[in-house]
Amino acid sequence: MPEMTETQFDSDQFLKLLTEALRAGPGSPQWHEAVNQLKNSSVADADEYRMLINAREHLESGRDYRSIRAGPEFTRKVMSAIDQESAAAAPSAPSAGIIALLAAGGIVAVIAIVAVIWYRGGPPQPSPSDLANIVFAQTIVSTDFTQTQAIPPEWRTLGLPPVIASRSRGLGAPQVRAGVGDDKDYRGGGIYSASGIPPTQTFAFEATIHQYRVSENVAVQIFITDTPDFDKNPKASSPHELVCYVLNGTIIIAKPDGSIQGTGTKAKDVNHIQIKLDKQFVLIENDGQTLYSGTHGLAPDKARYPGVRFLVKPSEKPLEDLTVHSVRILKP
């Protein structure tokens, strides 16, 4: 293509026409107009597209500011299209108003549930069965009487002092010789905790009792009292106590008011009696078998003192029909 003079096409109007022709493409009005103007020059035999490109390059040589660039309207349209696609693809985030409404709805639901619970009698009340789900893992006191020759200081004696039975049989009944008082009456003696347990403390008192033979001459009582005063009667009982005792092959429960619970359970050769106690309820078991479950009747504001007591009739020899091998006080 012969070289065009600077004056022939050096105008912003013609440069704009060439640019629009190249953008619009062949067949467009801009294209035809630009081609006709060039054909009127000395380049009439040139290929149309090549002709336009050459003319455009000639005008742009040394003039970068005249290069083809997207105008502001083009940029605005592109960015608007991108925003529309992003909005369509991304899930809409909940507004602050929607979140506030959901939170308010949750609060109303909670209030409604609480109101229904109270209307139906209030929240679930504690019961003796709750004690069955408690694991008593911490030892407060533990004594194995088959491994000791004396009563440890953690325990105090009451009434007639019990003895350490022969042949490592554990803690045995005190000996009461015939001719002392009425031979038909029981006399008592045993041990109880040297330290009281607060009434708010949930705890368990365990005792392992061996029954070598069924006898009515000796009984073992596993008790918890809130009034540790044992010196006013021959049986050395306290004024207000919960008692589980083995007598004549039967286990019987007596509450502080003197009422007997149940019809009596047959005692085994080896009995693992456990009394689980909280502020209001008690659960008494023997080897996992429930003997009594309910209120214990002890004072709600007094310390509790667990203990073991033997009731024995006068005899010329020690009575070892029943012995206590070990005792433990535990808490959760």
Q: Is residue 162 part of a domain?
A: yes
Q: In percent, how much of the chain has pLDDT > 90?
A: 52
CATH number of the domain to which 206 belongs: 2.60.120.200
Domain end: 103, 124, 145, which one? Answer: 124
Q: Is residue 29 located within the same domain as residue 154?
A: no
In three-state secondary structure terms, 307 is: strand
100 in the same domain as 79? no
- Residues 63, 192, single domain; the answer is no
User: Does residue 1 lie in a domain region?
Assistant: no
For residue 120, tell me if it sits in a domain.
yes
Is residue 173 assigned to a domain?
Answer: yes
- The verdict on 114 and 147 lying in the same domain is no
Total domain count, the chain:
3
What pLDDT does 61 receive?
A: 55
Q: Which of 34, 65, 89 is the last residue of a domain?
A: 89
**pLDDT digit string (tens) for 301-312?**
999 999 999 999
In a domain, 187, yes or no: yes
Cα–Cα separations (whole angstroms), residue 288 to 29, 40, 236: 103, 117, 30
Residues 84 and 177 in one domain: no
Cα–Cα–Cα angle for 146, 219, 195, nearest 5°?
60
Residues in the chain with pLDDT values less than 50: 1-10, 42-46, 62-70, 74, 78, 93
Residue 236 has a pLDDT of: 94
Q: Is residue 198 domain-shared with residue 323, that is, in the same domain?
A: yes
113 lies in the same domain as 142: no
Domain span including residue 204: 129-331
- Give the angle 245-166-269 at the CA atoms, nearest 5°: 40
Q: Each residue of 73-109: b (16+ CB within 10 Å) or e?
A: eeeeeeeeeeeeeeeeeeeeeeeeeeeeeeeeeeeee
Q: Tell me what pLDDT residue 233 has.
A: 84
Query: How many Cα neighbours within 13 Å face the side chain of 256?
Result: 17
Q: Is residue 80 part of a domain?
A: yes
16 and 40, same domain (yes or no) = yes
Q: Same structural domain for residues 148 and 105?
A: no
DSSP string, 201-229: --EEEEEEEEESS--SSEEEEEEEESS--
3-state SS assignment for residue 68: coil
**What pLDDT does 291 receive?**
95
Residues 6+ apart with CB under 8 A from 10: 59
Q: Assess if residue 68 is contained within a domain.
A: yes
Pair (113, 222) in one structural domain: no
Instruction: Let me know if residue 266 belongs to a domain.
Output: yes
The two three-digit tokens of residue 163, written as one number: 């003895």
- Total-model pTM: 0.64
Q: Can you give the pLDDT at residue 170? A: 95
Answer yes or no: do 327 and 233 share one domain. yes
Reference 41, options 16, 67, 9, 10; nearest CA is 9
Judgement on whether residues 174 and 191 belong to the same structural domain of the protein? yes
DSSP string computed for 227-282 = S----SSTT---SSEEEEEEETTEEEEE-TTSPEEEEEEE--SEEEEEEEE-SSEE
